[in-house]
Each structure stands twice: as C-alpha cells, then as structure tokens.
Chain A
Amino acid sequence: MMDDGRSAWQRVLRSGRVLFGGGILLLLFICAAAAPLIAPFDPNEQDLLNALKGPFWTDTAADGHWLGTDNLGRDTLSRLIYGSRVALFVAFCAAVGTMLFGTTLALLAGYFGGAVDWIISRAVDLWMSFPPVVLSLILIVGFGVGLGNVILAIILVDWTRFCRVVRSEVLVIRRQNYVDAARLAGFSHLRTMVREVLPGALPLIITLMSLEMGIAVIVEAILSFVGMSVEASIPAWGVMIADARKYMYQSSWGLVLPIIAIVLTVLAFNLLGDGLRRTLDARLQQH
C-alpha cells in the first residue's frame, strides 16, 4: 500500500476543479510577477487623445491598446495586469494572516474548552455583530489608507469566519480517543495540540485559505471602489470599476473587463478550494 501522503497528492492533482482553478491562479501569478515585462504601457500613463477607446473587437479600438483605454487614456490591459499585483498580494497576505490568527484561537478554544472557549466564542460573537463591509470601512477610517492597512483590516474582520469553522472541526477531533491517548503517553498540551489535533484540521484549513483569498480580493475591491484602499497612483481593479462606472454609457467595456477580472480570480480561488475539499475529505472518509 502506498504512503498515505503521496496518494492524497495524486488525488488532488487529478481533480478538475483543482487543475482549472490552480491553472488560472498560476496564470495570474505570472501576470503579477512579470507585470513590468508583460504590460504594453505604463498603467498611469495618460493619453487624453485616446480616452475611452474600446477593446480590439469593437469599432472604437485604438492602436496598441488591446483592451481599450479609460477616461484618462490609460491602457486598460496594463492597468488590469498591474491590478492583479494588488489583488494577489492582498489575497495572499490577508489569507495567511487570517489563517494564523483564526486557527490559533480556534485551536485554543476547541482544545481547552471551558472558560477559554467561552471568551473566544464571545469575542467571535462580538465581532460578528457587524456586517464585514461596515467593520472593514470603519477600520480603514481608523487606520488610514494604504495596502498594509487594507491587509490588516481584512485580517481583523475575517479571522472570525476562520475561527468559527476551524473550532467546530477541532471540537470533533478533540473527542477522538487518540487525543486523550497522546496525553496519557505524556505529551504536553502544546505538543498534543500541534501534533495530534492540528493535522486533522489541516485539510479544512487549506480549503478555507483558498476561499479566504477569494474573499480578500472582494473586500479589497470593495474598499478600492469606495476609494479607501490603496493610494491613487497604484492601479487596482476596484478603482477601475469606480472610474468606469461614471462613463458606463460611453464605454461599458471599461466596466465589464475589471469585473470579469475580479470574478475570474475569485472563481479560481473558489474552485481550487472546492476541489481541495472534495479530494482531501474523501481521503479521510477512507479511514
């Protein structure tokens, strides 16, 4: 019989969802990393003579601007490519931060139970009495704009979702006898938590991280739509949407293209997470 870890990987890589979602994300990552090399124009370079041009398949296309321009003549394609940098950076950092914060608290709450669980659960309840959009706006007002603040705000808002879901899983694992057995063998609480409980929740955590990245992209887009995300000189998809909305009648493509970019990115994260959940969960069911 094969090593359990290896066979899980093989299963994961055979999932259509994982391949599709992962493929798109890989493409995006390349775009973001190689942005200066790929983008045909500087994203902030204005060309007022060529404002509000359409993509190459429309009749208002302009030379060199494959996907058209915005109201200040900035190249849409370049702005989309550079915007992916913001999206992916925020997605990754926010997801990692949320995962660390949420998982730690979830582990403590689920493992120890009692007063620890009570305090953490009440904190989660408190946090969740705000709609996330409202809370993130308030946090940004408090912190000020900037990429770092956006990431911090997302972490501070979304750790509750992570915490709640992982906590339920930890509670289930905690009830398994092998956790007690490890304690009886002489392991400390910390050791038991990390070596016996955490690996069981790992598939769920991986899935959640992927979903969390999608959520982070959405929150960043919302914040930049409202103008409270990155500084004005950095192109972001939400900002593109906010700008293009004013000129919706003249050139709806300027609105549609960044929307598609966001939806495609989030879809990729969701598909990846969904695929991971199916394949990793199935492995556990075999036991």
Chain B
Amino acid sequence: MSLLTLEDITVSASTKGGGIDVLRDLSLTIDQGELVGIVGESGAGKSMVGRMIAGMLPRGFAVSQGQALFQGENLVAMSASGRSEYLGAQIAFVPQHPMTSLNPVLSLGAQFDEHLRRLGITDRRIRREMAIAALDSVHLPRPADLLARYPHQLSGGQCQRALIAMAFSSKPDLIVADEPTTALDVITQARVMELIAELQHQQNTGLLFITHDLRLAAKHCQRIIVMYAGEIVESGPAEALLEDPIHPYTRSLVAANPTLSGPLRRLAALPDHMPGLSSFADLPGCRFAPRCPVRDRDCAAARPMLAETTSGRFVRSTGACRAAQREMVAEALLPQVEIPLDAPAMLDVTSLGKTFGARRGLIGRRRDPVVAVDNVSFRISPGEFVGLVGESGSGKSTVARLLLGLETPDTGTVSVDGHDITGPFERTAEARIALIQMVFQDPQSALNPRRRIGRLVTQSMEAHAPRPDWPARLERARELLRQTGLAPDTVGRYPSQVSGGQRQRVNIARAICTAPKVLIADEIVSGLDVSVQAQILDLLLEMRQHLGISMLFISHDLSVVRYLCSRVAIMNQGKIVEQGPTETLFRNPQHEYTRSLIAAVP
C-alpha cells in the first residue's frame, strides 16, 4: 500500500459566476521513503496540493471530487479534528518563510517543547533531550544554547533547520515541504536541501517537495510531477524528464532555464504567461494551448487526458504534441558579443566605499558600524553587460544606490562617459539623469499605483523645463512601450491591471526614457517565473543590440548572469573577491567563495 494516494482530486473555488476548478483531476502516489517533486510556476496550483493535504484550503475553496488516501484513510472525508491528529505527527510540514513561521515572542525551546508535548512525551527532561538531539541532527551548533534564543536572533538558515528538526522529530511518515529553500541564499539553499535529503533517507520518510525550480527538484527527487494551470501535465523519473521532456510545456521549462555549463543557447521564451483562475472557464480544452508552439485546432477544443507513455512516464498530450515531439529542434546558439577592448570605459568605479556608522550614543540606540561596501572597483565598456553577483547582505544593492547617488560614498569615485558623478544626487542631478538610470527589483513597489503607465514611463520628461506637452509625451510613451515589447494601449492602464512580467517591462521602459548610457538592473528577474524571466532576458539582449546600452546586472543567480553578461564580479561582505570574463571565471573559479557559489547551483 502506498503512503499517499491522491485520486482524481478536484478543488473548486466557489465564485459568483459558478465554480472554478482550481485543481483538476489530480492523481499521484508517493511511497514510503520516496522523494517526489512537484514543479510548477506560480499560479500552477502546487501550493494548493499541500494545503489540501493539510485540510487548510482558503475560504471558498473545497475539495469537490476525489479522495486523498493516507495509509488507507481518506483525508478528505475526515473531520477537521480527526485530520489534525495526523498533523505534526504522521504528516509534517516544512514552510516557505522560516523566519516568520516561528512565534517571535516564544523562545525556540518553548516552541519545541510544546511540539513534543503534543506528541505525547510527558517527561520534561526527555523533551529537552529530544529537542537537543533534534537540533543536533540538523547540524546546528551548541543546541542547548540555541533553545534559549528567540527567532529574531537566528538567521534564516538556522530557523529553517530548526523547523526541519521539528518536522522530523516526530518521525513522520510523510513530509510536505512547500518551497522550503526559496527564501534562503543560494549557498544556504544547497546545504538545507542536502540536509533534507539526508534526513529523509535516514528516516525513510516520504517527502513531497514543492518548488518552482526544476533543476533543484531534479537534483534531489526521484520522481518529478510538472503542473500547469491546476493540472498535472507530465510526470516521471527525474533524470529522464529533465533529459528528454515530452510535454511542450516541460520542454519549454527546460529550455527557458539558463544553464551554468554547456553551450550558450538562446532561451526559448514562451509568449504571455500562465492563465489565471478567472481565465480557466475560457479554456475548455488544453489549458496550455494558447501558448503552445506546436498546437493545432483540436487542442483548444478537447481536453487531453493523462496517459502513460513508457513505464512510469505520464503525459497529458494531444495528437499534435505527440507528432511534434520528434521535430522539436534545439534553439540557436547565442551570438558572441564583440566588446572593443580599447574603448574608454562607459562606467568607471574606483575604490568605492561606504560604512554605515554608529549613531548618537546616549539617546538613540547604539549600533556597531557596518562596512557595507569596501574598496570596490570595476569598469564597464560601452555596450557591455557586466554582472555583479552576491548573496543578500553582500553589499551589491548598496553599490547600486551609491552609483545612482541615492547614498553618498565615503570613499572612491564614480564616472560615467567621462563625467564624474560621485556624490549625492542633488549636486550631480542634471548630468546624471541622461547618463545612468536604475531598474528596480520589485515592480510592485517601483511603480506608483495611482499613476497610469503612460505617465509613469515618461516621468522624467515632467521634471525638465521646458515641459513637453502631452501629445509629445504620449508619443514618447508609445515608443518606449514598443521598445520593451508592450502593446501601445498599455499607455492608459494602471500598474495593477497588467501582469508581473509586463510591470517589469514598464519598469525598464521608464528607465530608458532619458536614453541613459548605463542601466543598473538590481535583481530585476528574481521574482519572475522562468518563462517570463526568459522573455525579459531576451528583451535586454535586444536592447543591447538596438540601443547600445551598457548594463550593470546585479543578481544572485549565476546562470542568468552567465547568459547575459560578458564579464562578472563576485561580491562577498562588501568586497569584490573575484572578477573577470564570465566563461573563464565560471569554468575555473579561483576564489573559495566563488567555488562554493558555483557548487551550490543545482
């Protein structure tokens, strides 16, 4: 008997127009000791699976069909109190946001103690011993001291290890981990994943690993299930699925992920984005059809079924995709970028430094001085993309703010196209605006929600006297939108009315309004889905080709940096530890930190 079997589970949301099937005909099995990954972009419904198992669907959502058999018992038919018997005991959970998943006013020890008491361990001393042993098993140093600490005194990685310790401490049969490493740094992510895999293997637990990262899932999971728009589109053994994907969506997922090694191919960017809940009613047939490169007329009409192709591999396919499977070709190789080596630098940064110091002693709270940026130097040639890689806290965002004048550097100089623009924004504003601009990471916070997009992208025209009249602005707005691949009627929309990927394009359009020579892109693709990320990356390449713009591309994602940038600088704790041509650096890293970064990429 398998550990968990979901049979034709359908979760519906009751809305004014009728029910929408958020999850449709979901069937999967996990056996004891198996590590299964559910992979999907945001909105695919993968988190809904975890919530359904826990019995914590949001208000208005309910399981309308199917059963979920856990060790033979149907979870769906169980009462809430019956199901909560299982929770934390036989079925454990590892959350996505470790730092906020622990009660901030209770010590770690108190929360562990509560958990163990619920499991029925009555002796206080035994509970403490078990807690210490559990923290030890997740390689946390000095566990006895740690129990007295509060969550805000621990790092994200430490919190997650503690939560993993709690999950495994009840020796559960099944663990559901919903994006457990997404909120962590790359290196921490790799270590925590290894820890989970290690413990899972030791205790022979069945583990359902939910993630958006296909490569990460493939590295650790035995089987992978790919979801799209609430349905399973493909499932099978991890390696086989990654090497030879069958369903067009899986193929594009694999092809849209930039790699750290192997030939540099152009990313296959699918148009648009995954349909939202409200569009499901308009898609009676295959829900992937509108974006599918190999669709035919029948695809949109009839709903394809999940069928087994070879042993263990299931695909939801129509005749069209089966036929096209053999014909899909690999994408073209990326053209090499020629950078004139003797041209004067477009962006020249020398010995940049910034320390956030201690403040007033008596009245305010004392803080130790933090060296955010320490002697950072690099150059960008005209038309070159240079990557700045670092984890959170490395100082890379501070560098961006220093370059833009949002912070004043303590030491060093910044010059663009020969003009010295070191110093606070006010002093150098006139010169700056046409020279260097920034694309912010979070388009939600970067676009004023009360302004229409047309006004937003041409904002910099407003600040200058003489102010151009509205028709001139409209003209420029349309042009900018065209350059960033948006429809001209987007001009009249509000930021909340367009998708995440489109918002990011608007962000970029605004930044190029003054035709700056240098763009700083601070983690601009981090929050985006793989296919949308590919679209933006391609857009940036086009912009380089047509506008000749130089860019400092700040990111923590090495594969993306490899795709875009000809040179890269690695930052750690405020210093640049290594910099050079991308290929050479990644193939043969010199510094230990770079090596650990590369090793951490799945």
Segment at the A interface, from B234-242, B432-440, B546-554, B562-570: B432-440
Contact of B496 with A178 in the complex, beta carbons under 8 Å? no
Contact of B450 with A181 in the complex, beta carbons under 8 Å? no
Knowing A177-B440, A177-B442, A287-B495, the reply to whether A185 touches B448 (Cβ < 8 A) is no
Q: Interface digits, B404-442 against A, CB 8 Å rule (1 contact, 0 not)? A: 101000000000000000000100011011000110111
Knowing A4-B450, A181-B510, A184-B438, the reply to whether A287 touches B463 (Cβ < 8 A) is no
Q: Complex: how many Å from CA A156 to CA B497? A: 43
B431-488 CB contacts (< 8 Å) to partner A: 432-433, 437-438, 440-442, 444-450, 459-460, 462-464
Q: Complex: how many Å from CA A176 to CA B52? A: 35
Contact of B463 with A187 in the complex, beta carbons under 8 Å? yes
B378 at the interface (CB under 8 A from A): no
Question: Which among B433, B494, B510 is the interface contact of A186 at CB below 8 angstroms?
Answer: B433
Which residues from chain A sit less than 8 Å from chain B, CB to CB?
A: 1, 4, 175-178, 180-188, 191, 196, 199-200, 284, 286-287
Q: Which residues of A contact B438 (CB under 8 A)?
A: 181, 184
The 7 tightest CB contacts between A and B, nearest first, are A186-B463, A185-B460, A177-B446, A287-B449, A177-B440, A178-B448, A185-B459
Q: Can you list 19 pairs linking A and B with CB atoms under 8 Å apart?
A: A1-B493, A177-B440, A177-B445, A177-B446, A178-B446, A180-B440, A184-B432, A184-B437, A184-B460, A185-B433, A185-B459, A185-B463, A185-B513, A186-B433, A186-B460, A186-B463, A187-B459, A187-B463, A191-B463
Q: Which residues of A contact B442 (CB under 8 A)?
A: 177
Q: How far is the CB of A271 from chain B (nearest CB, A)?
A: 27
Q: How far is the CB of B512 from chain A (nearest CB, A)?
A: 12
Main secondary structure of the interface of A (DSSP, over half): helix
Please tell me the size bucket of the interface on B. 20 to 34
Q: Which residues of B contact A188 (CB under 8 A)?
A: 463
Contact of B433 with A287 in the complex, beta carbons under 8 Å? no
Q: Complex: how many Å from CA A184 to CA B406? A: 8
Contact of B445 with A185 in the complex, beta carbons under 8 Å? no
Which residues from chain B sit less than 8 Å from chain A, CB to CB?
A: 404, 406, 425, 429-430, 432-433, 437-438, 440-442, 444-450, 459-460, 462-464, 493-497, 510, 513-514
Q: How far is the CB of B438 from chain A (nearest CB, A)?
A: 6
Question: Which among B444, B445, B446, B496 is the interface contact of A286 at CB below 8 angstroms?
Answer: B496
Contact of A184 with B445 in the complex, beta carbons under 8 Å? no
Contact of B433 with A183 in the complex, beta carbons under 8 Å? no
Q: Complex: how many Å from CA A160 to CA B510? A: 38
Q: Which residues of B contact A178 (CB under 8 A)?
A: 445-448
User: Which interface residue of B429, B460, B463, B464 has the most chain A CB atoms within 10 A?
Assistant: B463
Contact of A287 with B437 in the complex, beta carbons under 8 Å? no
Question: Which among B406, B460, B514 is the interface contact of A180 at CB below 8 angstroms?
Answer: B406
Contact of B450 with A182 in the complex, beta carbons under 8 Å? no
**Given A187-B462, A200-B450; 13 other pairs, CB 8 A cutoff:** A176-B445, A176-B446, A177-B445, A182-B448, A183-B425, A184-B404, A184-B460, A185-B433, A186-B460, A186-B463, A186-B464, A287-B444, A287-B495
Q: Which residues of A contact B447 (CB under 8 A)?
A: 178
Q: How far is the CB of A19 from chain B (nearest CB, A)?
A: 24
Q: Complex: how many Å from CA A196 to CA B406? A: 17
Q: Complex: how many Å from CA A180 to CA B404? A: 10
The residue on B at minimum CB distance from A192 is B463
Contact of A181 with B446 in the complex, beta carbons under 8 Å? yes
Q: Which residues of A contact B446 (CB under 8 A)?
A: 176-178, 181
Contact of B497 with A184 in the complex, beta carbons under 8 Å? no
Q: How far is the CB of B466 from chain A (nearest CB, A)?
A: 14
Q: How far is the CB of A206 from chain B (nearest CB, A)?
A: 15
Contact of A287 with B496 in the complex, beta carbons under 8 Å? yes
Q: How far is the CB of A111 from chain B (nearest CB, A)?
A: 14
Q: Complex: how many Å from CA A175 to CA B496? A: 19
Contact of A182 with B440 in the complex, beta carbons under 8 Å? no
User: Which interface residue of B430, B440, B448, B496 has the most chain A CB atoms within 10 A?
Assistant: B448
Q: Complex: how many Å from CA A9 to CA B463? A: 30
Contact of A181 with B433 in the complex, beta carbons under 8 Å? no
Q: How far is the CB of A141 from chain B (nearest CB, A)?
A: 32
Contact of A181 with B449 in the complex, beta carbons under 8 Å? no
Q: Complex: how many Å from CA A196 to CA B455? A: 13
Q: Which residues of B contact A287 (CB under 8 A)?
A: 444, 449, 495-496
Q: Complex: how many Å from CA A191 to CA B459? A: 12
Q: How far is the CB of B23 from chain A (nearest CB, A)?
A: 25
Q: Complex: how many Å from CA A188 to CA B425? A: 10
Q: Complex: how many Å from CA A178 to CA B494? A: 14
Question: Which among B437, B444, B459, B494 is the interface contact of A4 at CB below 8 angstroms?
Answer: B494
Q: Complex: how many Å from CA A75 to CA B38? A: 79
Contact of B459 with A181 in the complex, beta carbons under 8 Å? yes
Q: Which residues of B contact A184 (CB under 8 A)?
A: 404, 406, 425, 432-433, 437-438, 460
Q: How far is the CB of A153 from chain B (nearest CB, A)?
A: 30
Q: Complex: how many Å from CA A279 to CA B469? A: 35
Q: Complex: how many Å from CA A187 to CA B463? A: 5
Knowing A178-B447, A178-B448, A184-B437, the reply to whether A1 touches B497 (Cβ < 8 A) is yes
Q: How far is the CB of A280 from chain B (nearest CB, A)?
A: 12
Q: Which residues of A contact B444 (CB under 8 A)?
A: 287
The residue on A at minimum CB distance from B444 is A287
Q: Complex: how many Å from CA A193 to CA B503? A: 24
Q: Complex: how many Å from CA A185 to CA B598? A: 37
Q: Complex: how many Å from CA A199 to CA B450? A: 8
Q: How far is the CB of A179 from chain B (nearest CB, A)?
A: 9
Q: Complex: how many Å from CA A186 to CA B461? A: 9
Q: Which residues of A contact B432 (CB under 8 A)?
A: 184
The residue on A at minimum CB distance from B516 is A184
Knowing A177-B442, A191-B463, A287-B495, the reply to whether A183 touches B406 (Cβ < 8 A) is yes
The residue on B at minimum CB distance from A178 is B448
Q: Complex: how many Å from CA A183 to CA B437? A: 11
Q: Which residues of A contact B514 (CB under 8 A)?
A: 185
